[in-house]
Amino acid sequence: MDAQGLVCNSCAIRHRAVCGAMSDTELLELNRISNRRTFEAGQIIMADNEPSEFFANVISGVVKLTKTLCDGREQIVGLLFASDFVGRAYRPENQFSAEAATNTELCCIPRSRFERLLGKHPDLERRLFQHTLNELDCCRDWALLLGRKSAEEKVASFLTMIARRVPNIGCAHSDELKVTRFELPLTRADMADYLGLTIETVSRQITRLKTKGLIALDANREIVVPDIDKLSELAHIGPEAGA
Amino acid sequence: MDAQGLVCNSCAIRHRAVCGAMSDTELLELNRISNRRTFEAGQIIMADNEPSEFFANVISGVVKLTKTLCDGREQIVGLLFASDFVGRAYRPENQFSAEAATNTELCCIPRSRFERLLGKHPDLERRLFQHTLNELDCCRDWALLLGRKSAEEKVASFLTMIARRVPNIGCAHSDELKVTRFELPLTRADMADYLGLTIETVSRQITRLKTKGLIALDANREIVVPDIDKLSELAHIGPEAGA
DNA sequence: CGACATGTTGAACCTCATCAACCGACGTGG
DNA sequence: CCACGTCGGTTGATGAGGTTCAACATGTCG
């Protein structure tokens, strides 16, 4: 039974998440074995190379997947947003750790039960497969960014991606003027780890974009983008890439 | 019917490729709809953002997946070796182009027929899914490399990965002395595009490894690694990562 | 208030990119 | 047969883009 007594049926991410594959009756079954959990920013959800006993859907918040070298260098190899799936099917442990980047709400499902479900419902498995294919596409976009883009392009790419995937903050003129406004879900340190840069470089590039007039900061984490097209042009993002 | 009259049953990659999921009778079906094709080094197999009419298994050779920025910067976002799968299920086009890095032999299957097969054989789909999961793992390893490793570590990582995935060349002392010896399937330019470096840096790092005694060159493309453990130590590769 | 975390800015340094010259192998055509 | 161009690769000199180290600013919490 769901911890909060909520039913999957009314779940905010029901249609976009893997559960979108399931019929109402199947959802009842899923509902019985899933439970919501919250993680505070910084908490480890799944540890590197340790078996985890559950899978999860992200309901709200952002989860970062990180790899760490023995000498402490760190790289974020994936970001998960609402409706994304956490965990590695067919293998109990990941080769990276999953950590809450912000306060996060997850819908958790015990590993064994979910795998049984996968075996029974080909539609569910197919849906998860497609999710994985999309993740692979994103990862490859990111490889291009990490290997070939300048610091400025990296930061601009990151901001355009976040603008697309994070709920926008309404403001008076947002609709008429196409102003985009959102809260950064990551610290400068996390941004650096995601972009293959240092904190200082990220900070400098942000002030550079600011002086260029491409973005404005209402607070350290609150970004206003007057013209998202200009920003993404600077980012050298191909058609529909970036997330 | 297979072009060479070969049956899948006796295929060299039968057990490692996705077809490993299929029974003998199913293989007969697969055999009817598949055909072998060869591609010379440099030939495009699937073009960026263009629908391709077939999927394929790599039988021999190496295929590179590349993304190109509008200004010509290029990044290889994946390498495929024998038994790997080419193509994107559930979507006719890729967001990158697939190109033969060496002379390559592929086992091609028409897109529509293969997708019908996928629908009929959940085992096949599961197998392809697992293949995709592995590819995603590799891609994330590579993100760590691209984002956080030095040029020397990158080249060392690349060589250890290739040593593991490419058929080794036998030589007199290879067995007793644990000497690894293989042919590089990529030009320096391709290596640079894979590692997020320039040709010159790759070349310099190779000569550096040579003077350090970590590798030796019999020819430009023929690498001898006296002690693979030392090399992979320098590469800072975690447990079982790198491919 | 002080301690701590997050973020910005400055100066010096270093890795790697850039530009350029050069080498050897190979193929081609006069 | 040799001159020539091309391709893959190496090496050198130079400089720019990012890192590193350090100081400082701001905000939050006990």
Using a CB-CB distance cutoff of 8 angstroms, which residues of chain A are in contact with residue B135? 136
Q: Is the CB of B200 under 7 A from strand C?
A: yes
Q: Which residues on chain A are in Cβ contact (under 8 Å) with B198?
A: none
On average, the pLDDT of chain A sits at 91
Q: Supply the mean pLDDT for chain B.
A: 91
Give yes or no for residue B233 having a pLDDT over 60.
yes
Neighbours of A93 (CB within 10 A): 14
Question: Which nucleotide does the CA of B198 lie closest to, via C1'?
Answer: C17
At B158, the amino acid letter reads F
Q: Give the least confident one: A9-23, A165-179, B180-194.
A: A165-179
Angle subtended at Cα B226 by Cα B224 and Cα B227, rounded to the nearest 5 degrees: 130
Using alpha carbons, select from A112, A123, A205 the residue that is nearest to residue A156: A205
**Can you give the pLDDT at residue B171?**
62
How confident is the model over A160-199, as pLDDT tens digits? 999 999 988 876 555 566 789 999 999 999 999 999 999 9
Q: Which residues of A touch B241 (CB under 8 A)?
A: 95
Nearest to A138 by CA among B140, B128, B184, B202: B140
Dihedrals phi, psi of B54, to nearest 5 degrees: -150, 160
Instruction: State the pLDDT at residue A21.
Output: 87
Whether the CB of A208 is less than 7 Å away from nucleic strand C comes out as no
Which pLDDT score is estimated for A3?
A: 44
* Averaged pLDDT for residues A199-226: 96
Q: What is the pLDDT of residue B241?
A: 37
Taking contacts as CB-CB distances below 8 angstroms, the residues of chain A near B88 are 133
CA end-to-end distance (rounded Å), chain B: 33
**Does the pLDDT at position B2 exceed 70?**
no
Confidence of residue B3 (pLDDT cuts 50, 70, 90): very low
10 Å CB burial of residue B35 (0-12, 13-18, 19+) is: middle
Q: Is the pLDDT of residue B35 over 80?
A: yes
Contact B35, B83 (CB under 8 A): no
Q: Name the closest residue on chain B to residue A128, using Cα atoms.
A: B129
For B98, which DSSP code? E
Whose C1' is closest to the CA of A201: which nucleotide? D18
- As a residue count, chain B comes to 243
Rounded Cα distance between B68 and B48, Å, is 9
Strands A35-39 vs B54-60: parallel, antiparallel or unpaired = unpaired
Largest CA distance in chain A: 56
A21 is near strand C: CB distance < 7 Å: no
Lowest-confidence region among A165-174, B80-89, B117-126: A165-174
Q: What is the DSSP secondary structure assignment for residue A221, as one 8-state letter?
A: T
Q: Find the residue in B nearest to A93 (Cα).
A: B137
B194-223 residues near strand D (Cβ < 7 Å) = 199-200, 202-204, 206-207, 217, 220-221
Q: Are A122 and A75 in contact (CB under 8 A)?
A: no
Check A139 against B137: CB less than 8 A apart. Answer: no
CB proximity list for B27: less than 8 A, separation 6 or greater: B7, B8, B9, B14, B19
Provide, rounded to the nearest whole percent, the portion of chain B with pLDDT above 70: 92
Statement: the CB of B77 is under 7 Å from strand C: no
Q: Is residue A4's pLDDT more than 80?
A: no
Going by pLDDT thresholds of 50, 70 and 90, the confidence category of residue B185 is: very high
* Per-residue pLDDT tens digits for A56-89: 999 999 999 999 999 999 999 999 999 999 999 9
B238 band by pLDDT with thresholds 50, 70 and 90: low
Exposure class string for A151-189: b at 16+ Cβ within 10 A, else e: bbbbbbbbbbbbbbbbeeeeeeeeeeeebbbbebbbbbe
Q: Which of A131-135, B8-12, B81-85 has the lowest average pLDDT?
A: B8-12
CA nearest B196 in A: which residue? A147
pLDDT in tens, A106-122: 999 999 999 999 999 99
**A198 CB contact with strand D at below 7 Å:** yes
Q: Kindly give the residue spans of alpha helices, DSSP state H, lying in B59-121.
A: 111-120
Nearest-CA distance from B146 to chain A in Å? 6
Classify residue B167 as exposed, middle or buried by CB count within 10 Å of its CB (0-12, 13-18, 19+): exposed
